[in-house]
Amino acid sequence: MSFINYSSREINCKIVYYGPGLCGKTTNLQYIYSKTNPEAKGKMISLETGTERTLLFDFLPISLGEIRGFKTRFHLFTVPGQVFYDASRKLILKGVDGVVFVADSQVERLDANIESLESLENNLREHGEDLEKIPFVIQYNKRDLPTAVDLSYLEEVFNPRGVQSFEAVAPTGQGVFDTLKAVAKQVLVELKRGDRHRAP
Amino acid sequence: MNTQTALFEEDSKRLTELCLKLQQESYAKAVFLLDKDGQLLSSVGEVEEIDTTSLASLTAGNIAATGGLAKLLGEREFPVQVHEGEVESIHISLVGERLILVILFDNRSSLGLIRLKLKHSYPELLQVSHEIFNKPPEEVRSVFSQISDDDIDDFFSFD
């Protein structure tokens, strides 16, 4: 749920990076953090297990600039990818304005991607949201690995609706900001559209 | 399906006044009011050294996790949490369905005093919270009605 503070003149939106374990969600946020000006970002928080697996969430607030005098901030969250953390994933999706699904391009992770995408749809539904109606982009990560599946095949399996999608190699930054910009723009367009519909 | 919460100048002022009164009367170090999504609505007291955005996000995550735990055990929720540290302690409580009040205190105050003063402030906080989240749609003049498609395009024209 977006939050507009007229007192501090801020628009705040929530974007969640979702995907199977070790697909690179945290790496996306780490890259964004490393390349964002200090004045435009807050502290990155990672609630991890002792083995660098996300336990509850990663959180990174960033500011992309001003629109009509309102500072526009995006709160970026990742969910824990491992299957048994589904309760945590559901919590993080509450109040989400836009979702990035980070798919692992490796052939051996196809089933994990499918399972994760299904859990995304189910968890959103439990919050009364519909994946087809909220801002949503797909990122095919790990495109540099030798076992990466052809893009056309991934698109056929994961993107029958033809939503915006990006190829990425998160550690080098390839596709990372393109993904963020695409989902952030969809969020603002959707907020504007929703506002128009709500007008008396 | 997106919904927006808007905090207007006059409501922000009222919340800040209530938080300030609570902070001063309870001798707390700082008082924060946030929503369950982790958006900070008000912060008063000694907040200069505190990363308030992180505090709000972690508190909301904590409340969400505790709420999940409560439901698992058949409770509706656990409305109050206290974390006691060697020097500083945190009192976290729910205000109605949507807001979270965080009171940071040290040895200038006590848990008993915090509880007593919060009990006095709670009805008014709840009332303002109710008014913020139940505004008639025609009163919510969102900034988005003034933003054009070109504004959004321009916003994303950076490299």
Q: Which range of residues forms the domain containing residue B134?
A: 9-155
**CATH code assigned at B84:** 3.30.450.30
Q: CA–CA separation, A64 vs B51, rounded Å?
A: 19
Residue A200 is predicted with a pLDDT of: 35
In a domain, B114, yes or no: yes
Residues of A in contact with B32 (CB under 8 A): none
Residues of A in contact with B54 (CB under 8 A): 42-43, 45, 59
Q: Nearest chain B Cα to A135, which residue?
A: B2
Q: CB distance from A47 to chain B under 8 Å?
A: yes
In a domain, B17, yes or no: yes
Q: Nearest chain B Cα to A36, which residue?
A: B159
In a domain, B3, yes or no: no
Distance, first Cα to last Cα, chain B? 30
Beta strands in B2-153 (DSSP E): 4-7, 30-35, 40-45, 80-84, 89-95, 99-105
List the one residue out of A2, A187, A165 whose CA is nearest residue A98. Answer: A187
Q: CA–CA separation, B119 vs B130, rounded Å?
A: 17
Residue A14 is predicted with a pLDDT of: 95
Strands B99-105 and B30-35: antiparallel
Predicted confidence (pLDDT) per residue in A10-60, tens digit: 999 999 999 999 999 999 999 999 999 999 999 998 887 767 677 788 999
Domains belonging to chain A, first-starting first, are 3-193 (3.40.50.300)
Residue A198 is predicted with a pLDDT of: 45
Average pLDDT of span B90-97: 96
- Starting at the edge strand found earlier in the chain, the sheet holding B99-105 runs B40-45, B30-35, B99-105, B89-95, B80-84
Number of domain units in chain B? 1
In a domain, B2, yes or no: no
In a domain, B4, yes or no: no
Which residues in chain A come in under a pLDDT of 50?
196-200
Share of chain A above pLDDT 90, in %: 70
Q: CA–CA separation, A80 vs B27, rounded Å?
A: 39
Predicted confidence (pLDDT) per residue in B14-27, tens digit: 999 999 999 999 99
Residue A68 has its nearest CB partner, among B38, B138, B146, at B146
| B156 contacts A4? CB cut-off 8 A | no
Residue B51 has its nearest CB partner, among A14, A42, A191, at A42
Residues of B in contact with A62 (CB under 8 A): none
| A14 contacts B156? CB cut-off 8 A | no
| B137 contacts A94? CB cut-off 8 A | no
Q: Is the ipTM of this complex over 0.90?
A: no
- Residue tagged 């990174």 (tokens): A60
